Amino acid sequence: MTTYQDYKNHCSKIADIEYALSVLNWDQEVFMPEKGAKHRAQQISTLAGIAHELSVDKAFGELLEKLSNENLTEIEKRNIEESLKNYKRAQKYTTAFVQEMSKTVSQSFIAWQEAKEKDDYSIFAPKLKELVKLKREECELLGYSDHPYNALVDLYEPNATVKDLDVLFNDVKKQLVPFVKEIANANQNNDSLMYNFYDKEKQLAFTEKLLAQMGYDFNAGRQDISSHPFTTNFGPLDVRVTTRVNENNLNEILWSSIHEGGHALYEQGLKEENYGLPAGSYLSLGIHESQSRLWENNVGRSRVYWNYNFRRLQEVFQVNLGHFTTDDFYKAMNIVKPSLIRTSADELTYHFHVLIRYEIEKELIAGSIEVEDLPTVWNKKYKEYLNIDVPSDSQGVLQDIHWSHGSFGYFPTYSIGSFYAAQFYNQAKKEIDQLEYQIEIGNLKPLLDWLREKIHQHGRLFAADELCEKITGEKLNFKHFLNYAKKKYNKLYNLN
């Protein structure tokens, strides 16, 4: 390997293996029969080991060092910088550790599924304990300053630290909590219309129309059902979403599908010619989440969006919705009240759910609490922050898939993404002529085009805070989310 083309070919080979892994993971969560679990864990582990060996290949490292000193274009330089950073980090892992982690994650996921189905945390706890032990080892392998959790956060939101996150979540505590209490003391809107019987197949068909309206390319993707909605991609021309259907709760599929559609649009917007390269990869999970939250909340929970789409929903469910107005539906979808399940939470109390997980993860990785303590700690925090008594493990500590995947450090990016989303959408309204009128007539293309230009096309060519400043003129600022929330909910709840 001596040239930039050799570098691209090697990156493409690594991507091929990693996307093959993604196919196996997607199938495991969507279609795999129960008895396939044993060999699937082994298959995933083997491929993860191969991908790691390619990532730390000595000749590849020598090529990266060589190219870092050559006269390249700005995009090529950035690709090499990011790849060299990833190479040096990958070298900190042994193949044996990567395979052990991959195998443990596959087994943990199966244990989590069974535990959630049987509402029994003790089924999951032993595998989770193994996983937490490995994640603590990973922190030591990677190295960190100040707090071991920093090593894991950096994997999902590069350069973010516990110090930064503490500031952000203090804003949530000091500014968002009082506002939610103000809403709680106001006259409450009625959301009973969301809880009638809604046929599963009709729900799926309707959300596929919403995805298509957003610009999701079904020739480069598909929507399926999973226990926990997610988006996965095998390159920009194969990006798949899953959703969750509850025939007695219309909320679940609407926000799941729109949310995952936002993730998918980001992946479909990456440039095909940058396959396998940093320029063809998403920037950070916070930025990724900004795309899903922008579509789900700033667009999907807006009055103007449903001015166009509610009458189409009425046509599908005429008996249930025919006698309601768009305003009735808008109020019903924007109820603010404490709830048990993070993925079903409203867009304000949602951040209390994330705060709880952040505080637990930080302590768990530091060793301040142990796996055995999690149900007790979880339930205590839900009572403290949301004044909710958790009735069961499945609705409590087992509700999220993330820990079974070993995704510690992931949860904070949900709030980071929501705050980025408000800031980006605020800027889009300034730059796109009559944006909300376009949304109101069902034309979402101007917004997607803006996101493609400002965010999607750049891949990892900029740092997250650098990209935010480039787009909005400032780094992430919580005030944009708070201003958006107050403007919207003051009106919805007739506050001052």
Enzyme catalytic residues: 260
Rounded to 5 degrees, what are φ and ψ at 232? -135, 155
CA distance 372 to 380: 14
CA distance 402 to 109: 9
HSE on the CB side for 221, CA within 13 Å?
28
Nearest to 124 by CA among 109, 110, 106, 111: 111
CA distance 489 to 328: 15
Residue that is written with structure tokens 């096309």 in the block: 457
Nearest to 244 by CA among 333, 385, 150, 341: 341
Strand ranges across the sheet with 231-233: 223-225, 239-243, 231-233
Contacts of 272 (CB under 8 A, 6+ apart): 235, 236, 237, 280
CA distance 140 to 130: 16
CB 423 within 8 A of CB 476: yes
Q: How many CB atoms lie within 10 A of CB 174?
A: 9
Contacts of 216 (CB under 8 A, 6+ apart): 241, 261, 264, 265, 268
CB 14 within 8 A of CB 57: no
CA distance 43 to 33: 15
Provide the terminal-to-terminal Cα distance of the chain, rounded to the nearest Å: 66
Residue that is written with structure tokens 């009458």 in the block: 311
CA distance 202 to 313: 10
Nearest to 302 by CA among 488, 490, 496: 488
Nearest to 394 by CA among 125, 116, 109: 116
CA distance 300 to 307: 11
